Amino acid sequence: MTKKQFLTKPFLKWAGGKFKIIDKILAELPKGQRLIEPFVGSGAVFLNAPYKQFLLADTNQDLIDLFTFIQQEGQDFADYAAKLFIPENNQADVFYELRAEFNITTDTRRKAALFIYLNRHCFNGLYRCNSKGGFNVPFGRYKKPSFPYDFILSFYEKSQQATFLHQDFLQTMDMAQPGDVVYCDPPYAPLSPTANFSDYTAAGFSQEQQQQLADKAYELSQRGVSVVISNHDTPFTREIYQKASIVEFDVQRFISSKANQRNKAPELVACF
């Protein structure tokens, strides 16, 4: 399964999403009954991995709420969220009004629908928050953002095999049992001090957390749990993954707003 036309695309745009390299990820995932993802993100791996059960977690409460509404309501939720995708809402002033509503509303269903609207109308589909936890990505100025109806329905169908949890990656990994497979896609270690691609997360992901992840992966591997981790290929990641087998490759990056700065970056997959 290496041709993109046979793959299921996530309905969310996502910085660091794995759809463009999904064939490389799938090739390294061993067989098992259940796949656990402590950093589910857009769900690209989940949507395309051939497991019978999935345990999918993230520290982004809004993301997990969105996935849960889709899992529970399917087409009804898609129809509800699609109502936001009208020409009148593709204007900067309306975008900022809806962004402000997203940050203050206590209506979780409305917030989940706004999540999809913001993802498709904001700059580069980024999810970034300020120090107070407020979503702050600016208007993207796209001509006609499309509602990902079919992709949401595909997600709904696959989600019937999944359990979604809002929790820390260590808590999620501790739930693994022998025979499970864990795939980790953490915020990447920076290629250099001035190129930290984890800045789009509110809390970032420290070197200490990167080390904790590597240590936990090795611990699980000693208990019969296979763990696969994606990250940048740097001296630091090579050091913390020294007990794993490494697959390396280059990936085109799309986070920079300047086209001439979207260069290829060295990545790796560490298999414990």
- DSSP per residue, 178-237: TT-EEEE-PSPPPSSTT--GGGGSSS---HHHHHHHHHHHHHHHTTT-EEEEEEE--HHH
Q: Where are the domains of the chain?
A: 4-59+167-271, 68-150
What count of Cα atoms within 13 Å lies in the side-chain half-sphere of residue 64?
Answer: 18
pTM of the model: 0.90
Residue 260: pLDDT band with limits 50, 70, 90: low
Least confident of 108-122, 139-153, 182-196, 248-262: 248-262
| pLDDT(42) > 70 | yes
Residue-wise pLDDT tens digits, 67-117: 999 999 999 999 999 999 999 999 999 999 999 999 999 999 999 999 999
Contacts of 106 (CB under 8 A, 6+ apart): none
Least confident of 75-84, 188-197, 211-220: 188-197
Judged by DSSP in three states, 90 sits in coil
As its CATH architecture, domain 68-150 has Orthogonal Bundle (1.10)
Q: What angle do CA 120, 201, 13 make, to 5 degrees?
A: 25
User: Is the domain 4-59+167-271 a CATH 3.10.20.30 member?
Assistant: no
Q: Say yes or no: do domains 4-59+167-271 and 68-150 share a fold.
A: no
Task: Compute, in degrees rounded to 10, the torsion defined by CA atoms 46, 40, 33, 29.
Answer: 70
What count of Cα atoms within 13 Å lies in the side-chain half-sphere of residue 117?
Answer: 29
- DSSP per residue, 124-157: GG---B-TTS-B-PPB---SSPPP-HHHHHHHHH
Q: Which of 79, 35, 26 is nearest to 57 (CA)?
A: 35
